[in-house]
Amino acid sequence: MSQKIIVPTLGESVTEATVSKWLKNQGDKVISDEPVVELETDKVNVEVPAPSDGTLESISVKEGETVNVGALLGLISDKILKPSTPKVSKNTKYNPPSKMKKETKSKPTEIISEPLILDNDLEESNKPLLLEEVHETKKVISESAMSDKVSPAARKIAAEANINLNEVKGTGRNGTVLKEDIMSLMGTKPQPSERKIQYGPEERIRMTRLRQTIAKRLKEAQENAAMLTTFNEVDMQEVILMRSKYKDEFQKKYSVKLGFMSFFVKACVLGLKNFPAINAEIQGDEIVYKNYYNISIAVGTDKGLVVPVLKSTDEMSFADIEREIGQLGQKAREGKISIEDLQGGTFTITNGGIYGSMLSTPILNPPQSAVLGMHNIIERPVVRNGEVAIKPIMYLALSYDHRIIDGKEAVSFLKIVKESLEQPKRLFLDL
């Protein structure tokens, strides 16, 4: 009897996907709940597990093809292919050399530690068994055992890149080698000159579903919203001093580093509470005001920009925020982000400063009505009390939908963020 591999429910508003990669080949043995095929949706990649133990009987959809929810991907047969037993000639008997017999009696455990399968040629030639041959057999056996602790995706990439799995340290559960371990071992992407040699003067590859969705949504944001951007600058000196003073104690107590993002999240929540329109969205001819504060954090990955969401940030501590940002960022870069992690955001923060950006005009993340852009911190001359001083300055940019957010609200919101960061004690006083 055969079990069907079907496209699972992919999340809210996601009805189709692209078959990205088969992790098993037709005829391969599979274990129940073991990933057999990877699907690429508009938002995330999804691994489809095997519904039962057996053998991958057939593959119905090729890599690169588009499938709908509930579509048939392949079949798994409950018949498991058993490895054939080597045949031994009845007329041939193996008579070990007398010298080997003596060595075996004196130190049996040093030579025969594993069952040894001998072929007919060895038996017929009556060839002495060398110690090197025993070691080689052990090596094969250990490699076979090692394969049980390698994920299908990692095994496939390692085979394509000709990587010895014995040299890869697994970071998964019980030391399992993951796809990320192989990618890390492979190192960085080829330099442009190397790419030219390998691929020629031009490359043509199909856009991923994620990249297509990003392009579509960003274009819709420009066409549908009355987008405007306002700017301000913030003196980061006090935040830097506070972070430097307490970062070691903070990490020792909470086991997470104290970054700048938690200060920005808290400052934005304070601003959103004072100006609810910035936390609202347009639905038809209605404005929906949201009395919860789910902050989307833009994360750049090799496959494109994803925006996981920190839920209920007004109820989170600084440690909670830093811990959640770290976990979501890692999941996004490893391609393990889920649909639930990307849904429900009310306001977005994007940090181009980590890439060296001085100033930019971020684009809205629909259906949200505003996005805050952070940039790099540069020492600049500023005037304080009639004197010129050198201060670590960051430029801030707030892009907003002018249909529901007035300029006064946008500027005032940005002013609250600025004041909260320049006087971080205000964050603890809710001022």
Which of the residues are catalytic?
Answer: 402, 406
> C-alpha dihedral over 207, 371, 420, 374, to 10 degrees?
40
Residues 6+ away with beta carbon under 8 Å from 364: 221, 225, 227, 348, 370, 371, 399, 400, 401
How far is residue 128's CA from residue 334's CA, in Å, rounded to a whole number? 51
